[in-house]
């Protein structure tokens, strides 16, 4: 799995289709090979955003050194989740920072996107995963002087606010996190 930061906007990504993959992809985290990875086909998957459901093409690349294939995900996605990163992040923010109730959050997303199939159990599983990721995200922020506060006893709310303040936006956070850390953001701990 590779998170690529040059696919930032889902609408543009959909408009361009496979044409978007003009830049070569470098580097295999599995074996440490730093050269260019070879294109190895596409697969299609669903993305649920705040407003609609899309089908997107995902490129697969293969490492010429170890032979492992990697999916190249645009930074608006998190591996293994159908909901877009912005959807998940907003849900977490509404719960941990804004202290909204589960029913308020569920109603909010269902009113924007009635096809989202979003339920309280989604909220609860996102929250659980975020709590599991708390320490690793906290250690990511130790790399940045401007985010070096609340480090000793961070709470999830403080961490989410750091993600929100990350230079540019959450999508840059997602690709920066992937580059700096051994695992992607929101991975199974």
Q: For Zn ion, which residue of 28, 105, 130, 137 counts as binding (CB under 5 A)?
A: 28
Residues 6+ apart with CB under 8 A from 81: 88, 186
Which residue stretch of 27-35, 39-47, 105-113, 135-143 sits at the interface with Zn ion (rule: CB under 5 A)? 27-35
Q: Do 150 and 45 form a contact (C-beta atoms < 8 A)? A: no
44-63 binders of Zn ion (CB under 5 A): 63
Which residue stretch of 22-30, 54-62, 142-150, 173-181 sits at the interface with Zn ion (rule: CB under 5 A)? 22-30
Stated as kind and residue range, the H or E segment containing 71 is strand 69-74
- Residue 37 contacts Zn ion per CB under 5 A: no
Distance CA 159, CA 163 (A): 6
* Shortest distance (Å) from residue 1 CB to Zn ion: 13
* Shortest distance (Å) from residue 37 CB to Zn ion: 8
Residues 6+ apart with CB under 8 A from 42: 18, 57, 58, 59, 60
* Shortest distance (Å) from residue 25 CB to Zn ion: 12
- Residue 30 contacts Zn ion per CB under 5 A: yes
- Name the residue nearer to Zn ion (CB basis): 60 or 134: 60
Distance CA 166, CA 182 (A): 19
Count residues contacting Zn ion (CB under 5 A)?
A: 7
DSSP state of 50: S
- Residue 33 contacts Zn ion per CB under 5 A: yes
- Residue 180 contacts Zn ion per CB under 5 A: no
Tokens of 24: 């070569």
**Which spans of this chain sit near Zn ion (rule: CB under 5 A)?**
28, 30-31, 33, 63, 65-66
């Amino acid at each position: 799995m590779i998170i690529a930061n040059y696919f930032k906007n889902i609408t543009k990504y959909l408009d361009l289709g496979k044409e978007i993959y003009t830049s070569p992809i470098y580097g295999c985290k599995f074996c440490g090979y730093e050269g260019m990875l070879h294109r190895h086909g596409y697969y299609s998957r669903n993305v649920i955003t705040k407003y609609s459901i899309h089908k997107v093409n995902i490129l697969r690349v293969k490492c010429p050194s170890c032979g492992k294939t990697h999916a190249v995900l645009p930074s608006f996605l998190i591996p293994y989740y159908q909901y877009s990163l912005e959807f998940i992040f907003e849900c977490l923010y509404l719960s941990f920072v804004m202290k909204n109730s589960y029913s308020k959050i569920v109603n909010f997303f269902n009113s924007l996107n009635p096809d989202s199939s979003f339920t309280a159990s989604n909220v609860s599983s996102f929250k659980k995963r975020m709590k599991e990721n708390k320490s690793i995200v906290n250690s990511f922020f130790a790399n940045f002087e401007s985010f070096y506060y609340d480090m000793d006893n961070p709470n999830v709310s403080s961490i989410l606010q750091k993600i929100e303040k990350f230079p540019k936006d959450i999508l840059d956070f997602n690709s920066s996190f992937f580059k700096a850390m051994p695992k992607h953001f929101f991975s199974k701990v």
